[in-house]
Homo-oligomer: A and B are copies of this chain.
Amino acid sequence: MPMVVNCAVYENGRRVADLTLDELKDRPRKPGSFVWVGLHEPDEETLSTVQQAFNLHPLAVEDAHRAHQRPKLEQYGDDIFLVLRTAHLGKDNKRELGETHVFAGRGYVVTVRHGASSSYALVRARCEAAPALLKHGEDYVLYSIIDFVIDNYMPLAECLEDAATQVEEQVLSQTAGRETVAQVYRLKKEIMEVRRSVVPVIDMAARLMRPDNPLVDPNIRPYFRDVQDHAIRVVENLDNVRDLLTAAVDAGFAYLSMTQNDVMRRLGAWAAILAVPTAIAGIYGMNFEVMPELRMTFGYPTVVATILVICVVLYRMFRKRGWL
């Protein structure tokens, strides 16, 4: 994949020209026109060319070099620097994680993708298909990118919800075992990670919606509220999954504890019942010369009967007390 994925000039919502990075510096600067640059893991030189073209703040560019930033929005005067963590379901429902940095300001939007962050070609295509909206300018592009990132989290959250429902079923059908414990742990960990990626977007959207934000047009503000609403929904879903897991784990632990108690109580009760014939038989197994009972004709059946009676009585008693 090339480092410069795309670099085009838009006027009144229509793509009017494709530039190379070197032409960026001398791009036409008309009102209502802006450049949208898409980069993929750019090297230092590329980034530096872009920085000079749009006069990006050095601290923002420093951050853009390094991946593994925390999601954040930083405002340098009229210019915005955005770090987004991206995730989408890849093959076998595995999460693929990436990171996107966005620089935006009067006349330009630059996206920088790291890792498995999905391509914004789709976003660009959708925007170009709706020139009426795209002519709003940079703020609409910004909205489209954040919206795309958040929408990719929705299937992930649903996937986590399905996994939690499986745990729930295992618990309620009392078939939860060692694997369930590991699954709960992995789910908790994933929820934490996704939450950390999405929660900051709620605040970002709020800051972009503020009336004093120079870059965002009042007509576009409802769109950022929409993004915020989606982010909140993802987070609420996650919190819901987390709370369900907690409740399911509590229930599972209660079941485990009850089952263990049951088994031990039963085994203990049977051991106690069986200890009776052993003890009595042991006594009549002693080798004393003078043991009158041993001489009695009905000694043996009497003892066996006594043993049986005691065992049956114990069995009933334990049964009644719910020990068996």
Contact = CB atoms under 8 A, between A and B. Distances in A.
Interface of A: 57, 59, 70, 72, 74, 76, 171-172, 174, 177-178, 181-182, 184-185, 188-189, 192, 196, 222-223, 225-226, 229, 232-233, 236, 240, 243-244, 247-251, 253-258, 260-261, 263-265, 267-272, 274-291, 293-300, 303-304, 307, 323
Contact of A258 (B178, B249, B284, B285): B178
B282 A278 contact: yes
Nearest to A81: B222
Contact of A188 (B236, B247, B272): B247
A256 B226 CA distance: 46
A80 to B, nearest CB: 13
Contacts of A222: 57, 59, 74, 76
Q: Which of A177, A272, A280, A283 has the most CB of B within 10 A?
A: A283
Given A263-B323, A269-B267, A288-B303, A59 B196 contact: no
B285 A287 contact: yes
Contacts of A247: 185, 188-189
Nearest to A246: B188
A240 B74 CA distance: 23
Contacts of A290: 296-300
A181 B255 CA distance: 7
Given A255-B178, A268-B267, A70 B286 contact: no
Given A185-B247, A303-B288, A271 B282 contact: no
A200 to B, nearest CB: 10
A222 B283 CA distance: 87
B294 A283 contact: no
13 contacts: A70-B233, A181-B254, A181-B258, A192-B243, A196-B236, A256-B261, A263-B323, A267-B271, A274-B275, A275-B275, A284-B287, A290-B296, A290-B300
B289 A294 contact: yes
Given A268-B267, A268-B268, A286 B275 contact: no
Contacts of A286: 281, 284-285, 287, 294, 300, 303
Please provide the 4 A-B residue pairs with the shortest distance between their CB atoms, ordered closest to farther.
A281-B282, A284-B286, A267-B268, A288-B300
Given A59-B222, A192-B243, A196-B236, 6 more contacts: A76-B222, A178-B255, A281-B286, A286-B300, A289-B295, A290-B297
A36 to B, nearest CB: 23
A118 to B, nearest CB: 23
Contacts of A177: 258
Given A284-B287, A297-B290, A274 B265 contact: no
A254 to B, nearest CB: 5
A304 B283 CA distance: 8
Contact of A260 (B261, B288, B289): B261
